[in-house]
Amino acid sequence: MNFEEMSEAEILDVANPIMNNLMEASTEIDHEKHVRDFTDRAKAIVTKEHLARVCKKYQAEKGVWLARELVAVFRRPDSVAVIWKQFCSKSKGEYVAEIVLVYKDGKFLVDHAMVF
């Protein structure tokens, strides 16, 4: 899979449902759902305890994730980074939401994700 050959629309058709699931799962603090599309490397980082700690902290401070707006798609031959402007329910201002997708064993997987 060469991400440089994919259109932005094709990339977003993959990235948006994956990011929707990540945001929903973090709101629900559902580890299994949250790491469903993660690479083994990313799963090793985001343990059940880590996810619970991070989600409880951000929900107390910022609330839950609301809408997001696409900022940019950065293509590389073997991965793609998608960046959105993210909004929160309790906090004014704009945050950055990001995922890096790879293609492994016939599936698109998240190798990195964060909101800051």
Write the CB contacts of 41 (distance below 8 Å, at least 6 apart in sequence): 111
Q: Which domains does the chain have, with CATH numbers?
A: 3-115 (3.10.450.50)
E strand spans, 76-106: 80-88, 95-104
Average pLDDT taken over every residue of the chain? 96
How confident is the model over 61-69, as a mean pLDDT? Answer: 94
Q: How far apart are CA 6 and CA 45, in angstroms?
A: 29
- How many CA atoms are closer than 13 Å to the CA of 69, on its beta-carbon side? 5
How confident is the model over 87-105, as a mean pLDDT? Answer: 95
Band (1; pLDDT cuts 50, 70, 90): confident
Task: Please identify which residue in the block is written with the tokens 């401070």.
Answer: 61
